[in-house]
């Protein structure tokens, strides 16, 4: 493999095999209500393969099985899709939606474990992470599926979308609690702009079209690039049948947001959306890292900063503000507040060199405007923090004896280049200054990952 590609070196160096290890060593005490699986996903090309873009590497899932205070196993498996065996996405008959890397995210819905990549169909996995095959919702899904679906915590519905650089540019789908596709709507007036994530509120679906759009000249295999001519805007679509025809678009400042933290309707009926965004320099810097181009300078203030957009539907305008000065990504919340107003959100703060510097886990208190930082030290890279309510299985009031929104745990897999090892940390989400609740020593260094989920046994 080429040592020139940053996504094949350091924290991102792929592993070369699939293993299973049982009875993992635990320091501290694993809360018994943490009974389930933490499953994470990312790109891990097979030995001898150098993808032209980080996102083109084949997907590999890593899982840790916890049960009633024990760490029963760790295992990693490639998602065995046609793309893993070299089948191309584009064929003479058009795109092959099964030729997926399946390397961006992994979720559970209606009892199915799905590995996701936004350009393809999802791939179903077993509880032991073996590949079942492409899943099309019983033939009802004939488009790609976003890697960032949203499950409404009240209705149990799964909202997801298909985005394409060619018409139809955007299709919104809704599946029922039991996994049946209920509705699919083509969204009018959408453009070829790259749409990676989106958000829902109690009554609306929120899309973001930033300044990144289809670029036929891009030769990395991911045909998108920054365009000053592409309008940045937020689309607010009413949920329910016929909602797509009533979508309203609101122009915002030039930029691109890869991920949303959350969206909700405030007491005045306004739509509040938050997430990290970059400008032109920040996007190009990230893109050059993803494709392995040499120009990756650390220009001041070029990283992704958290923004808040407040969309006043009645007045027809948007208020846009930067709410923090840290370079952050991978925002998460207590998913019980998806689409509803939340107080706390979490993110990872990155050093300027995008490499092996000091990474920090951040907790924001949106009510009082404070933040709490947990630095990890040089050579330590935590994964996106997954929140697990302490009451998930036990019915208890939380890790700190509270029924607050942050009563629970943050799960993060920390890669350590100094020791060539990784560990799973269980942190008290109510106070990051406390020592870890538990540490699970993993049997190998786990490469830096993108997204993942906690799957309780009840699911």
| Residue list for the binding site | 148, 196, 259, 451
Please report where in the chains the tokens 């009082």 appear, as a residue: 368
Tell me how far apart the alpha carbons of residues 32 and 395 are, in angstroms, rounded to a whole number: 11
Helix (H, G, I), strand (E, B) or coil at 222: coil
Tell me how far apart the alpha carbons of residues 327 and 354 are, in angstroms, rounded to a whole number: 10
For the chain, the residue count is 459
DSSP readout, 94-128? EE-TT-----SEEEEETTEEEEE-TTS--EEE-TT
Q: Could you give the angle at the alpha carbon of 127 between the alpha carbons of 51 and 334, nearest 5°?
A: 85
- What number of CA atoms fall less than 13 Å from residue 132's CA on the CB side? 15
DSSP readout, 317-362? EEEEEE---S-EEEEE--GGGTTS--SEEEEEE--TTSSSS--EEE
Phi first, then psi, for residue 285 (nearest 5°) are -65, -45
Q: Could you give the angle at the alpha carbon of 176 between the alpha carbons of 62 and 457, nearest 5°?
A: 40
Tell me how far apart the alpha carbons of residues 356 and 377 are, in angstroms, rounded to a whole number: 9
Q: Are strands 421-428 and 438-441 parallel, antiparallel or unpaired?
A: antiparallel
- Output the six-digit token pair for 101: 């890397």
Q: How far is CA 149 from CA 122, 175, 214, 371, in A?
A: 11, 10, 22, 27
183: nearest Cα among 245, 235, 248, 264? 245
Phi first, then psi, for residue 358 (nearest 5°) are -85, 120
For residues 175 and 137, the answer to whether their CB atoms sit within 8 Å is: yes
Q: Which residues are annotated as a binding site for Fe cation?
A: 148, 196, 259, 451
Please report where in the chains the tokens 């393969």 appear, as a residue: 49
- What number of CA atoms fall less than 13 Å from residue 39's CA on the CB side? 28
Tell me how far apart the alpha carbons of residues 179 and 113 are, in angstroms, rounded to a whole number: 12
- Output the six-digit token pair for 143: 């488009």
Residue 363 CB-density burial (10 A; 0-12 exposed, 13-18 middle, 19+ buried): buried
């Amino acid at each position: 493999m080429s040592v020139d590609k940053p996504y094949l070196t350091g924290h991102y160096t792929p592993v070369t095999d699939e293993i299973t290890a049982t009875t993992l060593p635990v320091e501290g005490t694993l809360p018994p209500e943490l009974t389930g699986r933490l499953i994470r996903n990312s790109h891990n090309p097979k030995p001898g393969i150098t993808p032209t873009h980080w996102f083109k590497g084949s997907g590999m899932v890593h899982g840790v099985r916890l049960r009633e205070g024990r760490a029963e196993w760790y295992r990693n498996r490639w998602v065995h899709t046609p793309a893993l065996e070299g089948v191309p996405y584009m064929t003479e008959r058009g795109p092959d939606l099964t030729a997926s890397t399946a390397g961006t995210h992994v979720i559970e819905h209606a009892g199915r474990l799905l590995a996701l990549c936004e350009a393809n169909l999802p791939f179903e996995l077993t509880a032991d992470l073996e590949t079942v095959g492409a899943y099309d919702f019983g033939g009802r899904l004939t488009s790609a599926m976003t890697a960032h679906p949203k499950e409404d915590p009240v209705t149990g519905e799964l909202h997801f979308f298909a985005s394409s650089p060619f018409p139809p540019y955007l299709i919104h789908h809704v599946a029922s609690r039991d996994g049946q596709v209920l509705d699919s709507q083509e969204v009018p007036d959408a453009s070829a702009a790259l749409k990676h994530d989106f958000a829902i509120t109690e009554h609306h679906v929120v899309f973001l079209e930033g300044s990144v759009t289809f670029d036929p000249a891009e030769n990395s295999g991911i045909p998108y690039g920054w365009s000053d001519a592409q309008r940045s805007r937020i689309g607010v679509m009413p949920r329910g049948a016929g909602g797509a025809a009533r979508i309203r678009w609101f122009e915002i400042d030039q930029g691109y947001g890869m991920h949303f933290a959350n969206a909700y309707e405030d007491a005045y009926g306004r739509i509040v959306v938050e997430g990290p965004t970059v400008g032109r320099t920040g996007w190009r810097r990230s893109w050059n890292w993803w494709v392995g181009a040499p120009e990756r300078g650390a220009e001041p203030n070029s990283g992704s900063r958290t923004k808040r957009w407040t969309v006043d539907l009645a007045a027809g305008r948007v208020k846009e503000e930067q709410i923090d000065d840290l370079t952050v990504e991978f925002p998460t919340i207590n998913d019980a507040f998806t689409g509803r107003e939340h107080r706390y959100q979490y993110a990872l703060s990155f050093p300027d060199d995008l490499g092996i510097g000091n990474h920090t886990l951040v907790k924001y208190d949106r009510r009082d405007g404070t933040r709490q930082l947990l630095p990890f030290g040089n050579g330590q890279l935590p994964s996106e923090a997954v929140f697990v309510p302490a009451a998930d299985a036990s019915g208890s009031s939380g890790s700190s004896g509270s029924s607050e929104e942050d009563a629970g745990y943050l799960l993060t897999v920390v890669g350590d280049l100094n020791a060539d090892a990784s560990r799973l940390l269980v942190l008290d989400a109510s106070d990051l200054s406390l020592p870890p609740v538990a540490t699970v020593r993993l049997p190998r260094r786990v490469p830096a990952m993108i997204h993942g989920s906690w799957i309780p046994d009840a699911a």
